[in-house]
Amino acid sequence: MKILLLGKTGQVATAFQAAARGREDVEVIALSRADLDLENTDAIRAAILGADCDLVLNAAAFTQVDRAETLAGEAFAVNARAPGEMARACAERDLPLVHLSTDAVFDGLTDRPYVETDAPSPINVYGRSKLAGEQAVLAHARTVALRVSWVFSRHGRNYVSFMLRLAREREVLKVVADQFGTPTDGEALAAFLLATAPRWAAAPAEDPAFGLFHFANADETSRFDFAKAAIDRDPLTRARLEPTTQAAFAEPAPRPPRSPLDTGKLRALFGFTPEPWRPAVERTADRLVTTGLAG
């Protein structure tokens, strides 16, 4: 099968291409922002209508949460209008669209993991732009919108690689301890997307495989414990970790204090069993340390 992948250089897209490499039954046509201007809806439409593909995977997004507060126009163009145009073009061709969303559509005022039927209530521009994107793509019947959270992998700049680097550079590293969520192994996500793509490509619009789903590793943790699990794997770590609060950082964009994702719907429909976050983080940190990418 042939997959049109948008967002070629991003973390999940890089993991997806690595997972597909060497597979004779899959061809990935990957486009970067340099290849396709995501603020140009005519270009998006032309790319999809002219593509020789069986499925479109949108892994592109404006992910700079703090910058979105001052660049709202760009955030909504990339995270909402572009996916909406992708969905309309896919609908014209009856192509399935798989779109990645985020836990940031929630306000974080919860005492349990979020399920797909919980009402979104984003508290920053990034979350509002991603929610608008979800709503736009789900207007197309053959759409899968996957919410993910705290994505990490061996690829690109992410929380694990960032914390490993800072822990080598600093004597003291203060990490937020009052923000909670469910980390997502980007390589496990890529493997799931690749394995499930044939089902989505063949499924009719009424198939329950389409719709809104949550994808994350099992168990909830804090940002502090997330960082510590990675840093503890690096023998070259210099830093002493100290817990702090979100308020102490005074970031431009507020973050949901607690946004774990419940993956029960995904497990029930696809037989997906999420790995606990800790061994996945430790494995990723080990690989980064071994290959020198943490420095």
What are the tens digits of pLDDT across the range 158-209? 999 999 999 999 999 999 999 999 999 999 999 999 999 999 999 999 999 9
Q: What angle do CA 57, 131, 43 make, to 5 degrees?
A: 45
Cite the beta strand spans of the chain per DSSP E: 2-6, 27-31, 55-58, 97-102, 143-148, 151-152, 172-176, 180-181, 184-185, 211-214, 221-222, 240-244
pLDDT score for 293: 61
For the question of whether the overall pTM of this predicted structure is more than 0.75, the answer is yes
Residue 177's alpha-carbon distances to 74, 228, 272, 275, in angstroms, are 31, 11, 29, 23
Q: Is residue 39 part of a domain?
A: yes
Count of domains in the chain?
Answer: 1
40: phi then psi, degrees, rounded to nearest 5: -115, 100
Q: Report which residue type is found at 250.
A: A
Residue-averaged pLDDT of the chain: 96
Cite the beta strand spans of 158-295 per DSSP E: 172-176, 180-181, 184-185, 211-214, 221-222, 240-244
How many residues are recorded in the chain? 295
Q: Is residue 67 part of a domain?
A: yes
114 is catalytic: no
Q: Is residue 149 part of a domain?
A: yes
Q: Which residues is 221 bridged to in the sheet?
A: 181
pLDDT score for 295: 45
Stretch 80-105: mean pLDDT, rounded? 98
Residue in 16, 76, 114, 126 annotated catalytic:
126
Provide the residue range defining the domain that includes 36.
2-158+183-220+259-275
What CATH number is associated with residue 116? 3.40.50.720
What are the tens digits of pLDDT across the range 247-266? 998 899 999 999 999 999 99
